[in-house]
Amino acid sequence: MGVGQILSRIENVLPKLTQSEQKVARFVLSAPEEVVFMSVQEMANRSLSSSASVVRFCRSMGLKGFPELKVAISADLAKDQKSGYYDLNKNENTADLVDKILSNAVQSLRDTVGLLDLEMIEKVAHTLYNAPAVFAYGVGASALVAEDIAQKWLRLGKNAYALSDLHVLTMSMANAPKGSVFIGISYSAATKEVLQMMKFAKKTGLVTISFTGFGKSELSELSDFSLFTSLAPEAKVRSAATGSKHSQFFIIDVLYYVCASIDIEASLDKIQKTRDAINSLKRTEAAD
């Protein structure tokens, strides 16, 4: 990887640079696709600094020199290319549509990774690992996520449930053993039922986790741990929570693997057992 991510790295260290290096940095960020074809002198002129400052800037970025900067920027630009959110137009041909949907999905995943709080992930994974029972709850598209959580942690031998009947869910949580976890899922963070269940779970003494689109909300504030997915710019047809779904499942994947690797041997053993059980139902393979 090494060179990668130079542009965001520049953005990050920018305030720590000297004035003239900042001039260079800002210029690079403003027109990276031009920089790639420039000479040091040209850069110096355009950024109103000196060639020495340009080279010094490169060094500050951990590079050997100016040519390496060009190479790094070029790589960075190429990476970003295929991503970005696109709006879907009216008379789009199918091929373009596919490209755009792909692009949106990928961008959504990348953005989500960008705002992932790794420490939080680890904490949550450990919390789930130690939980005697897990209750995941969401409605609409978020119900799918809840169901995914339940299925995954069942494979790890957890008592994991995605109960959709609020009465059943309430009763289950009321008597859940200490350390049990409630996961409230709502992309909008404003679903009445999820909020209601979150409050109940908290009152009942469960460990609470919220799983929402990025940003503060009553739901996330209430919960002991909060996980966020990127917020895709909403478009009309996109109302089916499309972009966000990929991100949500992605975070569940991450949590699942982190949780499984806490004791990988035991996890693999349990996964095998669930697989055998499924196979005993006479399907040729375990996964569907």
Partner DNA sequence: CATACTCTGAAATAATATTACATAAATTTA
Partner DNA sequence: TAAATTTATGTAATATTATTTCAGAGTATG
> Where in 14-53 is the site for DNA (CB under 7 A)?
18-21, 39-41, 48-53
Q: Output 27 or 153, the one with its CB closest to DNA.
A: 27
Inter-residue long-range contacts of 211-218, CB under 8 Å, 24+ positions, other chains counted: 211/138, 211/145, 211/183, 211/184, 211/185, 211/186, 211/248, 211/251, 212/185, 212/186, 212/187, 212/188, 213/187, 213/188, 213/189, 213/244, 214/115, 215/189, 217/189, 217/190, 218/189
Return the DSSP state at 176: P
**Residues forming a β-bridge with 160:** 134
203 binds, among its own copies, DNA, none (CB under 5 to 8 A by kind): none
Give the interface segment with its own copies, choosing from 8-16, 53-61, 222-230, 246-254 (CB under 8 A): 246-254
For residues 178 to 217, the per-residue mask of contacts with its own copies, x marking binding by CB under 8 A and - elsewhere, is -------xxxx-xxx-x-----------------------
By CB under 8 A, which span of 18-26, 40-48, 54-62, 251-259 interacts with its own copies?
251-259
Binder among 25, 55, 197, 252 for DNA (CB under 7 A): 55
Beta strand extents in 104-179 (DSSP E only): 133-137, 159-161
Q: Based on CB atoms, which residue is closest to its own copies, 216 or 283?
A: 283
Binding-site partner at residue 175 among DNA, its own copies, none, CB < 5 to 8 Å by type: none
